[in-house]
Amino acid sequence: MADLHYPEHLPAILIGVDRALEAKADELPWAHSIHHQHGGYACLQAQFYGALLPLLALPACSPLIAGFEALALDSPSKSAFAQFPELESVHLTAGQQYDPAAIRALQRFLSRAEFAFPVITAGTEALLEFATALPTQFQGWPLLMLEMPAACALDDVDATHLAIGPIGTYSERVLSQAAIDRLQEVTGVAPKVYLLWDNSD
């Protein structure tokens, strides 16, 4: 587990719960305590505990990366949105929730990926929620995690006793049903699906 303040590994899907679970800090080497800034210039703060699935690690999502980089800019730039006109209207907010038109624009943007993203149900700048999505839709996506011995399973209850290494993505470490089940066991609730990217502030 890592304590991630404003993670460097965004944009990413988050499978988890929307609260800090400090007591669970060492339960799983692939679940993290995440402190995320969102809401554009309002700089709202959110805390999560869960698994991060960086979009950069999934070739199917590569068409989205430049769009998320444009959304993270601190100042308006029409040229940044030349390839992503649907995103210009959702850039530089002041903490307000996205309205239905903004959510439709973001859904159109996500459709550029070679992956069928679930329906966005709510969000503010740099934080989207897919409340009706099942985490199993993201099975097979690479996990951001602390390096573990190859023989160790993601749901190994003894993982906290292993020598673990640097944080990163590892091709053989992907989200599985066992990992989702273990996350629910540790948190006590069904994990939800979010999408995080760097906030423009």
| CB contact at 8 A, 156 and 171 | no
Residue 128 φ/ψ, nearest 5 degrees: -115, 150
Q: Name which of 99, 148, 135, 101 is nearest 13 in CA terms.
A: 135
pLDDT number for residue 46: 92
* Peptide bond just before 191 cis, omega within 30 deg: no
Task: Give the three-class secondary structure for 32.
Answer: strand
pLDDT number for residue 26: 57
Percent with pLDDT over 90 in the chain: 54
b/e map 154-175, b = 16+ CB within 10 Å: bbbeebeeeebeebebbeebbb
Tell me 70's DSSP state.
Answer: H
pLDDT tier for residue 155 given thresholds of 50, 70 and 90 = low
Task: Give the three-class secondary structure for 68.
Answer: helix
What's the rounded mean pLDDT across residues 141-163?
68
pLDDT tier for residue 17 given thresholds of 50, 70 and 90 = very high
Q: Which amino acid is at 121?
A: T
Q: Is the pLDDT of residue 190 over 60?
A: yes
The pLDDT tens digits of the residues spanning 63-111 come to 999 999 999 988 767 788 899 999 998 988 888 899 999 999 999 999 9
How many Å apart are CA 50 and CA 124, to the nearest integer? 20
Q: Is the pLDDT of residue 171 over 80?
A: no
Please report, for the chain, how many H helices and E strands are present, in that order: 3, 9
Q: At a CB cut-off of 8 Å and minimum separation 6, what does 163 contact?
A: 149
Q: Where would I find the H helices in 83-139?
A: 100-110
Q: What are the structural domain ranges in the chain? A: 1-201
